[in-house]
Structure 1
Amino acid sequence: MKRLVLALGVGFLGVAPARAQDRSISVQAICMDARGMPHPASQTFAERDVVATYAGELFRCLPGTSMRYVADSLNHDCAAGEALWYEDRRLSCRAEVASDAEQEREMLRQFGPGEKAVQIASGPSAEPARAAPRIVNGYARTR
């Protein structure tokens, strides 16, 4: 059954766009060598919880390996030479900050492999916008 709505005035009240809401997700990473063998990814700091204002590398791999990370139960791959970066509540693969292999090993010894909890912008929290009603004989019809 179709509903009729009387259109008053020249326009309709608009709804402000929904704001993005943050949600916490878990992130883990491993490094894959050329033979497809997994190795632990180095955390760049020890803390599990990452503050939302942090900008920088979370995990990185030894030279010659590529990263595979799991975020919110989804697998993602980075190219060789890329680290997992967190900034503006988003994860991305970016070129690693220059470092030598010994520093990489030291990070792995010091911080070990692990898991990070990050805040991610999850998009609009409200229902998707609806199409404007069409005017028929002076009345607005919703579908």
Structure 2
Amino acid sequence: MSIPVLRRPKQVEKNNNIIIEPEDFMILTLKNGKKLVVSSDSYHGIITSSNIYKCVICNEEFSLAKGDKEKHKKSHKHKQLMILSPHKEDFAENLIRQIETDICYCTICNVVVPSRTLTRHLSAEGHTTELKKAKLRSFTYQPLL
């Protein structure tokens, strides 16, 4: 069984050379026992914005160096804020975090969504497609031992 292309690899432009970074994935087991597989960056709220990484959980920006991103994910501050901003149980498998009063973060799509448009986002084709991919990945991806 071949693994389908799930998402184009991130492309980072550095000195006119394009570097393709492979994505690390995480297998998440929900309270109902269902599994979803999302990128580590999505789980940690790390988005790429032009020539920087931004953590939407901590509201911090840092360089595109992979070491900086991984160091940030392991930082005490980031871990504490992840605990304080859990995925909302009301949205179950949609993996929504409330990061501010009027702003949510969709782990499935790796995007920030205003709270007032969250329902529309969850029913949009883009989100439903990404959710299906996360579910399908759970059948093909196995944990590293």
Provide TM-score, normalisation by structure 1: 0.28
TM-score (norm 2): 0.27
RCO comparison, higher one (Cα < 8 Å, 6+): 1
Greater helix share, 1 or 2? 2
The answer to which structure has the higher strand fraction is 1
When Rg is computed on C-alpha atoms for both structures, the one with the higher figure is 1
